[in-house]
Amino acid sequence: MNRDNTYSAVMARKPEIMKASVGIDYSVFESGSISFDYERMMKETGYTLAEMQDIQYSTGVGNTPILELKNITALARKFAPQGKGARIFIKDEAANPSGSFKARRAANAVYHAKKLGYKGVIAATSGNYGAAVASQAAMQGLKCIVVQECYDSKGLGQPEIIEKARKCEALGAEVVQLTVGPELFYKFLLLLEETGYFNASLYTPFGIAGVETLGYEIAMQCREKYGKDPDVVVCTNAGGGNLTGTARGLIKAGAKSEIVAASVSLKGLHMASDEQFNKKSFTTGHTGFGIPFTTWPDRSDVPRSAARPLRYMDRYVTVTQGEVFYMTETLASLEGLEKGPAGNTALAAAFSIAQEMDQDQIILVQETEYTGAGKHIQPQLAFAKENGIEIIFGNPAEEVPGKNIILPAHPSMIKVKDSDMAKLRRSLVKNALEMTGKTPTEEDVEFLAKETKSDVEFVKNAISELKK
């Protein structure tokens, strides 16, 4: 019998498609209201931290080095008050087989897919995760399909996304490229149903738990080499899995590090807008993903996202596109390290935050990524110019996303902008009530307190304000 493959029909079959393609019955974690058993869902992976390390190390993933950025630290201290200017470090995740930390997520997911007997894996991503899944699938002898949101309606694709498509294909994956809009998720579901492949989503418990090894390694390596945990760990934040997994790993190691989320500010640009799709110069690590996923994580491609960043972040800062491009060049010219733009988002933030901290403290950027032809500064800025974006030197605080990119006229101008954490927490409570349509129970209030890293009183006050 032929299935109805219209958009509405496929979307209606989403729950059964997800259950078949992930091997998880998400309904068993539900309470019937707002709350659900998050920790029980995370245990659904069935793997201990040690077992995940064994899985990753068997394919050359993980155990990446921590590098001290002595020259960039010295530069930051030039602009810091007396006695300030923390030591800046990076965890060099570009050393992973596919060139980013997402190899950790992919290693777990693909291993589990093979263990369950799936013949292939599918991932919906325009970023480094596609390459990571393709790499791990090749190692495990599985087929791989990567679905990309790549072009606007004129057929113009961003250099970085196209670069990643080439990398995926080089690693043996079939790449399905689509225009911006709702067709991405529709095509993704259709392919899962037609192929019977495993959904190697970024947001399954397998994917997020895979990043826990990164946080754990940070604590262990810092203790061994420097005799202490990092005081601050900065995570580039988009969908929230990077921060969530790293923080959970640090917690499992017993570390008390402050967790800072960092995103590129793309305020004013709409990520689903065809017209504005190519007005941005970053494909991930920006507020277009970071803010929505922080305030409502369950907008992902699984019923319940395992990425819950607001549970773990202590501070959320933004930097500008110009500041990240500048820091990318600074890392290359001062430290001899050429890395891609995503990790340099956190590095730009760390450069600024280090100036607030004491000199004997450690601030660590928890990931780097590979760079290549389309991910370099030059093609990104050239593409921006082609799309009418003005490139100038000046005060990055005056940057207007979609209109210009302002490279700092001086490194002292690199300054993070803090987000209102209380506002983000209230937004999550508001979204939980609106998206579920439920009147919160006491159990829900306690759940939302954990979701927002706050307390019951804060949640109750937020709910009361919403009723006014």
List the pLDDT tens digit at each of the 468 positions of the chain.
578 999 999 989 988 898 899 888 899 999 999 999 999 999 887 899 999 999 999 999 999 999 999 999 999 999 999 999 999 999 999 999 999 999 999 999 999 999 999 999 999 987 899 999 999 999 999 999 999 988 888 888 888 888 889 999 999 999 999 888 778 889 999 999 999 999 998 899 999 999 999 999 999 999 999 999 999 999 999 999 999 999 999 999 999 999 999 999 999 887 767 778 888 888 889 999 999 999 999 988 888 999 999 999 999 999 999 999 999 999 999 999 999 888 999 999 999 999 999 999 999 999 999 998 888 889 999 999 999 999 999 999 999 999 999 999 999 999 999 999 999 999 999 999 999 998 999 999 999 999 999 999 999 999 999 987
CA distance 457 to 450: 12
H/E stretch holding 91: strand 87-91
Same domain for 227 and 337: yes
What CATH number should be reported for the domain holding residue 290? 3.40.50.1100
Written as six digits, the tokens of 269 are: 């640009």
Q: Provide the total of helices (H) and of strands (E) in the chain, helices listed first.
A: 18, 13
Cβ atoms of residues 446 and 440 within 8 Å: no
CA distance 209 to 143: 23
Same domain for 444 and 413: no
Interior/surface letters 17-40, b for 16+ CB within 10 angstroms, e for the rest? bbeebbbbebeebeeeebbbebee
H/E stretch holding 376: none
- Total residue length of the chain: 468
H/E stretch holding 459: helix 456-467
Same domain for 264 and 396: yes
CA distance 273 to 177: 17
Cβ atoms of residues 150 and 162 within 8 Å: yes
* Residue 320 in domain: yes
* Residue 36 in domain: no
Say which DSSP state 33 is in. Answer: S
The pTM for the full model equals: 0.95
Nearest 5°: the CA angle 260, 262, 263 is: 160
H/E stretch holding 390: strand 390-394
Domain that holds residue 441: 433-467
Task: Give residue 1's pLDDT.
Answer: 56
CA distance 145 to 439: 41
Written as six digits, the tokens of 3 are: 């299935």
Tokens 């600024």: give the residue.
Answer: 352
CA distance 425 to 446: 14
* Residue 228 in domain: yes
* Residue 174 in domain: no
Rg of the chain (C-alpha set): 21
CA distance 453 to 425: 8
- The residue type at 175: V
Tokens 């399905």: give the residue.
Answer: 176
* Residue 133 in domain: no
Same domain for 445 and 335: no
Nearest 5°: the CA angle 357, 360, 362 is: 65
Cβ atoms of residues 245 and 259 within 8 Å: no
Task: Give residue 320's pLDDT.
Answer: 97
Same domain for 454 and 392: no
Same domain for 379 and 233: yes
Same domain for 345 and 238: yes
Same domain for 407 and 374: yes
Same domain for 388 and 266: yes
Cβ atoms of residues 330 and 348 within 8 Å: no
Nearest 5°: the CA angle 181, 324, 80 is: 145
How many separate domains does the chain show?
A: 2
Contacts of 157 (CB under 8 A, 6+ apart): 150, 151, 177
Same domain for 458 and 408: no
* Residue 179 in domain: no
Taking the CA atoms of 268, 271, 272 and 277 in sequence, report the sign of the dihedral they define.
Answer: positive
* Residue 389 in domain: yes
Same domain for 375 and 312: yes
* Residue 237 in domain: yes
Same domain for 388 and 344: yes
Supply the angle between the helices 377-386 and 159-170 in degrees, to the nearest 10: 130
